[in-house]
Amino acid sequence: MKHAMNDMLARIIGTLARLTVARYRPAVVGVTGSVGKTSTKLAVAAVLGSAYRVRAASGNLNNELGLSLAVLGDWSPEELRLVSRDQPKGTARGRKLLFWVKVIFASLARLAVKDKRYPDVLVLEYGADRPGDIRRLLRIVRPKVSVITAVGSVPVHLEYYSGPEEVAREKGRLIDVLPANGFAVLNFDDETVMRLATKARARVLTYGFEKGAEVQAARFTNRAVRGRPAGIGFKIEHAGSSVPVTIPEVFGRAQAYAASAAASVGLIFGMNLVRISEALGKYRSADSRMQLLSGVKHAYLIDDSYNASPLSMAEALDTVMDLPAKRRIAVLGDMLEIGKYAPEAHEAVGRLAAKSVDAIFTVGPRAKFIASAARGAGLGSAAIFSFDTADEAAKPLQDFMKEGDLVLIKGSHSMELDKVVREVREVRDMTPSSSSLV
């Protein structure tokens, strides 16, 4: 009964979203990939928002209900939290019902009387947890510009697919539906993504670090000022022109990828590199995505606790190794939904961590493969700590931390490493975390 009600609600909200798109005809930028979707979405919104009225889906609105909500309006964080995974099941039913009634009536009113404030551009995130997810989302709204961030050799949600190629084919549906005058914006450095380029009847624009990318990120650096991590700097090069880009308070090559993808979209929309660079300077990462926080005992935290995949784990560890610190500590949780690849993928993270950090705290049963591989790669047993849950790890980590430490906290969302973050950060930095819709 409950499942039937949810299906009916999804159909109603989806129909309203389709009618709204037909009524207002916004330009739609779709973003998908196994990692970096939310950062890329926000970077695209930062760039286009300097020239157009833009709405980017809040939080992680990338399933049928979430995508429709992003089309239909701007909803408060409190409202979105009601229908998110963070809201315990069976709670706040009255408030949820009132919210859905509000969404339906507000959407009908917007269809009846044209809203001059409706966005020129929608930047939407297309999630693909299981085969067929992208096709269902495309029934609601099809983009004219599609961005595919990265797939990698072991993508997230792989346990529901036969392998990385099937994941790529599912993501590639975002390219298949593009009109001939549309654009596919593809990560040049990801071989799996680039194999999708042959399927595109739309024009293709590539971005990345490697030579050959049409929009290239060059001379990348993780910046520090007086020993404090400060942000990233790099140059964007395109068609013989080059501009410097400085983005404070974000870290890692993954953020430069997001910025380069956003620059590519900006060029498609007719913006010049100087304006794009200025807009990127105002971009900030989403909560819990490589976010710099002040820690207890005058340490620094890199909060990347929202989610994890083998590719994003490697990027995060590389970033920490590149930043100044007296000691580097990694708190690493299970990477979920990678199926049969789990033991091998966790061991690879452990070997990399042994070269990247001075101490490791692992959380969860799969992360014990990280600990054992790090030990085998030469990290001393006295620097390796394993726990079953985030609650168990938080206090020992706080006791272990010292002034000048840099602490990376990263794992799949279900591992609840945000609890560790709350335990070891300075209270003055507390901000609400993002939610994702069920």
Q: Which two tokens stand for residue 383?
A: 């620097």
Distance CA 196, CA 186 (A): 9
pLDDT in tens, the chain (438 residues): 567 777 899 899 999 999 999 999 999 999 999 889 999 999 999 999 999 999 998 766 678 888 999 999 999 988 988 887 777 777 888 999 999 999 999 999 999 999 999 999 999 999 888 888 999 999 999 999 999 999 876 666 666 777 777 888 899 999 999 999 999 999 999 998 999 888 889 999 999 999 999 999 999 999 999 888 999 999 999 999 999 999 999 999 999 999 999 999 999 999 999 999 999 999 999 889 999 999 999 999 999 999 999 999 999 999 999 999 999 999 999 999 888 889 999 999 999 999 999 999 999 999 999 999 999 999 999 999 999 999 999 999 999 999 999 999 999 999 999 999 999 998 654 444 433 333
Query: In the numeric block, which tokens belong to residue 260?
Result: 């380069």
Report the C-alpha gap between 156 and 291 in whole angstroms: 21
Q: What is the pTM of this model?
A: 0.90
Buried b vs exposed e over 170-206: b needs ≥16 C-beta within 10 Å? Answer: bbbbbbbbbeeebbbbbbbbbebbbebeeebebebbb
Is residue 151 within 8 Å of residue 186, measured between CB atoms? no
Where does residue 297 fall: left (phi above 0), alpha (psi -120 to 50 degrees), or beta otherwise? left
Neighbours of 132 (CB within 10 A): 11
What is the phi-psi region of residue 66: left when phi exceeds 0, alpha when psi lies from -120 to 50, beta otherwise? alpha
DSSP track, 86-118: TSPTT-SHHHHHHHHHHHHHHHHHHHHS--TTS
How far apart (Å, rounded) are the C-alpha atoms in residues 320 and 332?
Answer: 13
What SS3 class is residue 362? Answer: strand
> Cα 222 to chain center, whole Å?
19
Domains of the chain, each with CATH number or no CATH: 2-280 (3.40.1190.10), 291-426 (3.90.190.20)
